[in-house]
């Protein structure tokens, strides 16, 4: 599948597919080791463009999970952004700045058949020596001047598959946050909110938890490593690992794949974001490698 690869002069790199604007590789050094892969992609992932990629960083838009908004009627789970072909817009390669690429997505006949709202998406990826920044810009391209405004209502999320020994990971700081445990959903998809009691959240069992207004900055750590996830304008976070219980039923999940990652997915998924005609909403995350030496200081 067509892709774009950015290289940083200090050794890091990122690979982005036009299909789904899915980041499928992020290699970064730490201050004491050469560049290494930081994202998980299933060895059984489908990469012919017939299905979203199982791994990396798929972009979820305009619905999270099955559609629940009246305007999202027949959309597939997690929307169309992760299964649409995006266009390459421009690359910035300036010796004084970190390399960056922008991909865009506008309504196509395939999208319009399922989703009638006017929008323009830009996905901006910027590569640092030790970090990776992704930004989703959602523009409401409606020209309506009616009142009340013709809002674009959506959910958005970065579905980060962080390469990590799942058995040993902890995600902080989520203690005392309200969350919804989707592994306990009723048949209608309803869940009851609970308060997180753990200082560090693990994924030793099948986990599918949606934390609301979760604080926007997280650390995923394990002995010898970690990645921080710092976000702007993405109020919620989802922690997901299917373990064998759900992972073994997924056709595109490699056997034992669930031991190799944790999904720490910042987004706006409880309720809907609203953007007025002509306006743009921006959600951003910065993923950074946590230097082991620094953690033990
Ligand atoms: C998570 C959801 O974000 O994505 C889970 O909370 C879902 O419920 C998971 O199972 C994977 O979704 P998909 O569509 O890629 O299999």
Question: Residue 127: its pLDDT value, please?
Answer: 97
- Is position 54 annotated in a ligand binding site? yes
Question: Do 133 and 14 touch, CB atoms closer than 8 A?
Answer: no
Per-residue pLDDT for the chain (297 aa), expressed as one digit of tens each? 889 999 999 999 999 999 999 999 999 998 778 999 999 999 999 999 999 999 999 999 999 999 999 999 899 999 999 999 999 987 887 778 899 999 999 999 999 999 999 999 999 999 999 999 999 999 999 999 999 999 999 999 999 999 999 999 999 999 999 999 999 988 777 888 999 999 999 999 999 999 999 999 999 999 999 999 999 999 999 999 999 999 999 999 999 999 999 999 999 999 999 999 999 999 999 999 998 765 444
User: Ligand 1, residues 78, 155, 234, 241: which to mutate, most atoms within 8 A of Cβ?
Assistant: 78
Alpha helices in the chain, H assignment, sequence order = 109-112, 243-247, 292-295
133, two tokens: 């920044």
Cα distance between residue 78 and residue 86, in whole Å:
16
Write down the ipTM of this complex: 0.99
Non-local (6+) Cβ contacts of 296 within 8 A are: none
Question: Residue 190: its pLDDT value, please?
Answer: 82
- Class of residue 73 by CB neighbours under 10 A (exposed 0-12, middle 13-18, buried 19+): exposed
Instruction: For the chain, list the domains and their CATH numbers.
Output: 3-295 (2.70.98.10)
Which sequence positions are flagged as catalytic? Answer: 159, 265
Question: Residue 296: its pLDDT value, please?
Answer: 43
Question: Residue 89: its pLDDT value, please?
Answer: 86
What are residue 133's DSSP bridge partners?
Answer: 126, 286
Question: Do 143 and 150 touch, CB atoms closer than 8 A?
Answer: no
Cα dihedral sign for 27, 206, 234, 68?
positive
Q: Element (H or E) spanning 156, and its range?
A: strand 152-158
* Residues with a CB atom less than 6 Å from ligand 1: 52, 65, 77-78, 159, 182, 208, 238, 240, 265
Cα distance between residue 170 and residue 208, in whole Å:
15
Cα distance between residue 86 and residue 74, in whole Å:
21
DSSP assigned state of 290? P
């Amino acid at each position: 599948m067509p892709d774009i690869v950015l290289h940083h002069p200090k050794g890091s790199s990122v690979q982005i597919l036009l299909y789904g604007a899915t980041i499928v590789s992020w290699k970064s050094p730490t201050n004491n080791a050469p560049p290494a892969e930081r994202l998980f992609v299933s060895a059984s992932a489908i990469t012919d463009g017939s299905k979203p990629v199982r791994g990396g960083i798929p972009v979820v838009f305009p619905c999270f999970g099955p559609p629940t908004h009246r305007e999202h009627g027949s959309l597939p789970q997690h929307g169309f952004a992760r299964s649409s072909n995006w266009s390459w817009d421009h690359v910035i390669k300036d010796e004084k700045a970190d390399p960056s690429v922008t991909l865009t997505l506008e309504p196509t006949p395939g999208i319009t058949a399922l989703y009638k709202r006017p929008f323009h998406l830009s996905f901006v990826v910027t590569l640092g020596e030790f970090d990776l920044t992704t930004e989703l810009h959602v523009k409401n391209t409606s020209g309506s001047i009616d009142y009340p405004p013709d809002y674009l209502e959506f959910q958005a999320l970065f579905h980060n598959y962080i390469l990590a020994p799942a058995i040993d990971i902890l995600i902080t700081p989520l203690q005392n946050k309200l969350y919804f445990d989707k592994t306990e959903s009723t048949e209608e998809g309803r869940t009851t909110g609970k308060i997180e009691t753990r200082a560090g959240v693990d994924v030793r069992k099948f986990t599918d938890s949606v934390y609301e207004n979760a604080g926007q900055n997280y650390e995923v750590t394990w002995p010898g490593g970690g990645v921080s996830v710092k976000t702007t304008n993405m109020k919620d976070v989802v922690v997901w690992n299917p373990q064998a219980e759900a992972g073994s039923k997924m056709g595109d999940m490699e056997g034992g794949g669930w031991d190799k990652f944790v999904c720490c997915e910042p987004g706006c998924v409880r309720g809907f974001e609203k953007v007025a005609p002509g306006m743009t909403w921006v959600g951003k995350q910065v993923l950074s490698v946590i230097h082991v030496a620094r953690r033990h200081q």
